[in-house]
Amino acid sequence: MGESLSSTLKEFKYSVVKPIKFYNRVKSIPEYSNISYSQFRTRNISFDIFEAAFLNVNNDNIISTPQIRNMFKYLSNNLRGSKESDIKKTVIRIEKLRLALAVKLGNLDPESDKISIENINNILEELKVLKRIIIDSLKSNNKQIEKEIEFDMLIDDLLYPDDFDDSSLLPTLFYNLPVLQNSKNNGRRFNERFYKAFLLATHENDFLRKHYYICLANLIKEANIYTLDKRVLNICGFNKYSDISKSKLNEKISKLDYNPQTGRYRLDDFIVTIDNENTSKFDDAISIEKIDSGYILGIHIADVYSLGIMSPSEETLEFKSQASLRQTIDKNAISLFVEVSKTGLILDKKILMTNVTVSNNLLYDDVSKILSNKNNDKLCQTIIDLIGLYNIVNNSKLPDFPGPSKMAHALVQKFMLLYGCIVSDLASKSRYPILYQVDSDKRSAVSINKVYCDTGFDDNNLTTYARFTSPIWDLRSYINQTSICKCIFDRIDINERNELRLKLSSLKNEINRSNKPNTLQE
């Protein structure tokens, strides 16, 4: 270290400038106006105060070098004895502040902003000194610490960019390959931070971020930069048999008409129900769209929750009629859209509150007739596409149903199972309270805690199941739809979720004690 820098560091470390002027400056910032001088002298000062003060610098509002050093002296003192991870985070904040000031400096006029430019240059020099002091205080190898900090800053930029546009990902990744691969632990650190970022985007139902993250993970995977761990593969929907392509589901949903007053999307998809001849009320419907990369499947469940029935005991025949997805009549639904690749990989999924109109209420035997007639119309093509997708994902342990008529039964069974697997998986990852199915028997027990279930969708890592798709007649579906809607659409807080969990625990005990089928009263 040069003699002049050593002298500056020494002066910096032991400068004793009275902080009253800095305190007065901080008091002028509204969010810190209620801090007393005594509190200011003793508290662990937030880095936000420094950023606010530095970024507000202009020709009339400068910060002297002694004041700058005094600010940093407080910061470095407060870091003594802190965990190494906290110190690294502070260095990252310093680097980001330095970059922000550099941007501000580039926007100033050399003639009219001379005072500001000189002041910012002084701040930048002192930031450089502060960074060196903090890094020198660590016991670890300095060069390795600097590499780790550089890596963390790059991952911050990749996971939380100003604009979630995946077009710049490829050049950014390859330009920064030395940074990404400079430590044997960077793969683990990337996986950990990526998983948390993707999980947050999932909780917030942010399509754009999820699409961006899938593109990022795909590039990391294809370029063999890191080995993606099981959690990341699961949450992205990847598996070793995948042929990753960009999700088209977000594009589809962005084109739908949305009513902000009702919170519903209007669907113009071709939608059908398929049931046995004894069905009078229609719980579930299906739509499908064939795309270049595979299919977009829509599973639309009668929205019982929005009718405001507070408990199953209030259910009436009128209530059943209101919710039923009868053809040609506008109805509310809870829709799950799933984009599936040509090899059965789930690329994307989204649950929405929708308004739908079913085109046809079909019976199982109708499917056979439609296929026999081979009419080149929308209805026939829908059945053909549903069978095509069924054949792709049919790795189920459920028994096969040969023949066109029995195939109709199998289609409904497969896709309703998929709905229950995906939504229960979302609930388990988000810790939403629901009643998980212990096994596939209609009279089987339920659990408030996540239960492993051999769903038959192993390639897509779906290992839980809960009933959602028959809320008009099935008690468990009714309870689960109510719970998931409260959590996802009403966005109840953690205390309300805990109360809901207690209620579900009580209902679980009642269901498990009963030897009767879990159906709503006729």
Ranges 12-21, 219-228, 374-383: which has the least confidence: 12-21
Q: In this structure, is residue 125 part of a structural domain?
A: yes
Q: In this structure, is residue 519 part of a structural domain?
A: no
Average pLDDT over residues 427-455: 79
Question: Residue 137: its pLDDT value, please?
Answer: 64
User: Is the same domain home to 398 and 485?
Assistant: yes
Ranges 208-217, 278-287, 416-425, 479-488: which has the least confidence: 208-217
Q: In this structure, is residue 411 part of a structural domain?
A: yes
Beta bridge partners of 289: 296
Question: Residue 117: its pLDDT value, please?
Answer: 87
Sequence-separated (6 or more) residues with CB below 8 Å from residue 233? 239, 461
Domain limit, last residue, from 139, 163, 194: 139
Q: How confident is the model at residue 357 (pLDDT cuts 50, 70, 90)?
A: very high
User: Is the same domain home to 261 and 112?
Assistant: no
Question: Residue 243: its pLDDT value, please?
Answer: 44
Residue 522 above 60 pLDDT?
Answer: no
User: Is the same domain home to 98 and 181?
Assistant: no
Residue 254 above 90 pLDDT?
Answer: no
User: Is the same domain home to 87 and 205?
Assistant: no
User: Is the same domain home to 300 and 343?
Assistant: yes
Average pLDDT over residues 116-143: 74
pTM for the structure as a whole: 0.56
The CB density around residue 496, as the number of other CB atoms within 10 Å, is 13
Residue 32 above 80 pLDDT?
Answer: no
Domain ranges, residue 163: 146-236
| Structure-model confidence comparison of residues 181 and 486, the more confident one | 486
User: Is the same domain home to 183 and 123?
Assistant: no
Residue 237 above 60 pLDDT?
Answer: yes
Average pLDDT over residues 199-218: 81
CA torsion 196-197-200-205 (nearest 10°) is -140
User: Is the same domain home to 128 and 32?
Assistant: yes
Q: In this structure, is residue 521 part of a structural domain?
A: no
Tokens (6 digits) for 43: 């508290």
SS3 state of residue 193: helix
Q: In this structure, is residue 210 part of a structural domain?
A: yes
Question: Residue 333: its pLDDT value, please?
Answer: 95
Domain limit, last residue, from 116, 139, 162: 139
Q: In this structure, is residue 331 part of a structural domain?
A: yes
Percent of the chain with pLDDT strictly greater than 90: 15
Q: In this structure, is residue 62 part of a structural domain?
A: yes
End-to-end, the C-alpha distance of the chain in Å comes to 85
Residue 5 above 50 pLDDT?
Answer: no
In the 8-state DSSP scheme, what is residue 458? G
User: Is the same domain home to 381 and 278?
Assistant: yes
The CB density around residue 61, as the number of other CB atoms within 10 Å, is 13
Average pLDDT over residues 284-305: 92
Q: How confident is the model at residue 38 (pLDDT cuts 50, 70, 90)?
A: low
User: Is the same domain home to 212 and 254?
Assistant: no
Give residue 256's identity as a one-letter amino acid code: L
Average pLDDT over residues 13-22: 48
Cα 186 off chain centre by: 23
Residue 404 above 50 pLDDT?
Answer: no
Average pLDDT over residues 396-417: 66
> Any alpha helices (H) in 142-185, and if so which ranges?
142-159, 169-175, 177-180
User: Is the same domain home to 357 and 225?
Assistant: no
User: Is the same domain home to 288 and 415?
Assistant: yes
Residue 245 above 50 pLDDT?
Answer: no
Q: Which of 170-174, 288-292, 440-444 holds the top average pLDDT?
A: 288-292
Q: Which of 439, 345, 459, 452 is closest to 398 using CA atoms?
A: 439
Say if residue 7 is exposed, middle or buried (CB neighbours under 10 Å; 0-12, 13-18, 19+): exposed
Residue 83 above 60 pLDDT?
Answer: yes
Question: Residue 322: its pLDDT value, please?
Answer: 82
Q: In this structure, is residue 520 part of a structural domain?
A: no
- Total count of domains within the chain: 3
Domain limit, last residue, from 139, 158, 190: 139
- Matching residue, tokens 């500001």: 116
Question: Residue 10: its pLDDT value, please?
Answer: 47
- Matching residue, tokens 């953690």: 494
User: Is the same domain home to 328 and 423?
Assistant: yes
C-alpha to C-alpha distance for 383 and 408, rounded to whole angstroms: 9
| Structure-model confidence comparison of residues 402 and 159, the more confident one | 159
Q: Chain-wide mean pLDDT for the chain?
A: 77
Average pLDDT over residues 45-71: 73
Residue 248 above 90 pLDDT?
Answer: no
